[in-house]
Structure formats: structure tokens, C-alpha cells
Amino acid sequence: MSEIGRKQVALSPVSTDYNAFCGLFTQAVEQAGMRAVPYQWGLRDLSRNDAVIFHWPDQFLNPDNWYATAKLLWRLLLLRKTHGVKLVWVAHNVAPHDANDSKSMLRSLFLNALDGVIYLSHRSRDLVHERYDLPDHIVELLTVHGSYPSSPTPFAAPEPGVPASIVSVGLVRPYKNLEELVEAVRTLDPATVEVKIAGKRHDPGYAAKLESMVRPGDPLCFDLCDTLLSEAEIEAVIDAAHGVVLPYRNILNSGSAIHALSRGRPVLVPALGSMPELAELVGKDWVRLYEGALCGQTLADFAAHIRRLPNGAKPDLSQLSWDRVTRELKGFFEQLFASR
């Protein structure tokens, strides 16, 4: 265990090359008074921690290897009992993306082993409570998904006669529902709107299917690659566009939406999960919601809205500040380590 007064918290992951949120969250943990270290699998390494925080515990919520997952879970339960190590889940998603919904004994054991859950929206908490029976002893924190510090290219509406540029950027995966976007662009006037899909072919078969759906004359282009885009590359794609569309099939929290907002670009998203809550926090001029399937008219309306935004406009992200997250994490950790 770490020294008294400065608890050691292992994070899985402590940071990533493809999602700045993890590193920003780790900084907030440290500013809340903890000593943050990378999560390591070894029993000896784990025993040195006062708490372990999992961002995306897919190995428990949708395990590929039952035996390996059971072994790891037994190890964590042993440390919890013998060393008092606290287990915490940041509930980005209720279940892993693109996963089946089959019940899992390991999932139940993991949830019952938790000491704390951190929610990034009210909707996150509601959905977790609806889906899972959490033990009474769990310490819960309702906070927000912090914004991404950045100095974006200032927003500028399209000049008359120039098409509004709308982009969807990130991993190309089925849950992103990009086939609906490909179909929706067919009714758009190329003189007024152009759409780009950019990112890594996370699912090559799905990416190939999308590319095969494009018809001659569609105002749509692809900029796909086989490696992860860096933060700088993602930001360059966002900055080159007037707006961002994220036509999720299913979503709870969207770091991609907040990243786009942090770059001063309006986003178009379905009214699912925490997206209506995000619109209330940031403003409906910046988070445009739609119901049902995405269609060409919705994209055209989004493009028209983009043209009405004044040059230099930017969203108010003050309610997504990391100072707020840090303050709320400090209270959470005090309660977590005071509990048995």
C-alpha cells in the first residue's frame, strides 16, 4: 500500500495514444490528491495499490477468454479481501460496443466485486441502474466527461456558393452506423453539402461494405487508413470541416462529440444515451439532435444551421471543466477510502 495521505491508484488504461480523455482523467485523479500509476497485471504490482480503476473493462463485461478472465477476477477479489484494494469502474458504456448481450456469470461477479462506479452523465447512472443490480455498498459519483483542451481553428461558416463540409471521423466500426450516413447523402445537393468519412478501418469488412455502397455522384468521400489516427490528425480533420456528424446506432457517452465541440465545431448526433443531456449542457446550437434514422433532409438542415452560425462562434464548455471533475473526484475518493 502507498503512504498514508496519498493513496496509490492504478488506472487501466492510465493513458492512450488514441483517446486523450484517459490521460486527462489521470491528471484529474492526481490533482484530486492521489498517486496515479499504470495498471499492471502482476499480483505483486496490484497489491501495492489502494484502488484500481477500469475505464473499459471489456474482459469482464464481455469476456473473450473465460478462463483468463476468471483467473484475473479471482486475483482482484483476493487483493480486495486481503489488502483492501478498491475496485472502481468508469461507466463509459453500459456494455462493450459491437458486443452481444448474453448474460455472463463473470460480469455479475465483477459488478458485485466493485467498490465504486463513476458515471459521466445522469443517463449513464440511470441505464446502469436499470440494467444491473449493484451491491448496496458501492460508492457512486455522478460527474461529467471533461472537454479536450485545445486551440482550434476558429469556426467560419461556408462562404456563399461553397458546400458545407461535414465529417465523421474515428474508428470505422459497425456501432457507428455509417451505412446510414452513406445512404442519407444520396439526396443531398453536392453544390451545398459534402460529406467525408475518415479514420481507421477497425473492421476491414465493414469498411469495404461502406465503400461499395457509394454511387457515382454521391457527395461523399472516404479518407480511410489501416493505422490509428493521432490526436493531431483527428484534430486536423475536424478543423478542416464545418461540422461533425456521428450517426451512432447505439451510444451512451461520446468522447468524439465532445472532442469536436472542443475544436469549436457543431455536432449532429441521434437523441440517444447522454446526447440530449450534452445538448442541455453545451447548447442546442452546438449539439443538434435527431430522432429515428438519419436522412438526407436532416443533413441538409444541419448544413443550413451551420451557415447561420456566426464566424468565430464557439460553444460554452464551462460545465465540462476538468476543475469540476477534479473537485468531484476528490470527494469520491474520500468517501471510497472511508468505506469498509
Mean pLDDT of the chain: 92
Closest CA to 75 of 113, 128, 38, 102: 113
Longest dimension (CA), the chain: 69
pLDDT(12) > 60: yes
Which pairing describes strands 287-290 and 267-270: parallel, antiparallel, or unpaired? Answer: parallel
Split at pLDDT 50, 70, 90, the class of 102 is: very low
Mean pLDDT of 290-305: 98
Computed on alpha carbons and rounded to an integer, the radius of gyration of the chain in Å comes to 21
Mean pLDDT of 300-307: 98
Q: What is the structure's pLDDT at 96?
A: 67
For residue 164 the three cell numbers come to 458545407
Mean pLDDT of 246-269: 96
Which pairing describes strands 8-12 and 164-169: parallel, antiparallel, or unpaired? Answer: unpaired
Place of cell 477476477: 73
pLDDT(232) > 60: yes
Percent of the chain with pLDDT over 90: 76
Residue of 73 and 155 predicted with greater confidence? 155
pLDDT digits (tens, 9 = 90+) for 194-231: 999 999 999 999 999 999 999 999 999 999 999 999 88
Place of cell 476528490: 330
Q: Rounded to two decimals, what is the model's pTM? A: 0.92
Split at pLDDT 50, 70, 90, the class of 98 is: low
Residue of 157 and 75 predicted with greater confidence? 157
Mean pLDDT of 259-272: 97
Closest CA to 140 of 298, 10, 328: 328
The string of DSSP letters for 161-195 reads TSPEEEEEES---GGG-HHHHHHHGGGS-TTTEEE
| C-alpha–C-alpha distance, residues 71 and 81, integer Å | 15
Q: What is the structure's pLDDT at 97?
A: 57
All structural domains of the chain, each given as residue ranges with its CATH number in brackets, are 8-146+321-338 (3.40.50), 164-319 (3.40.50.2000)
Q: What is the structure's pLDDT at 151?
A: 80
| C-alpha–C-alpha distance, residues 338 and 151, integer Å | 40
Mean pLDDT of 323-327: 98
Q: What is the structure's pLDDT at 62?
A: 67
Split at pLDDT 50, 70, 90, the class of 31 is: very high
Mean pLDDT of 89-118: 79
Split at pLDDT 50, 70, 90, the class of 5 is: low
Q: What is the structure's pLDDT at 4?
A: 45
pLDDT(105) > 80: no
For residue 103 the three cell numbers come to 448474460
Q: What is the structure's pLDDT at 334?
A: 96
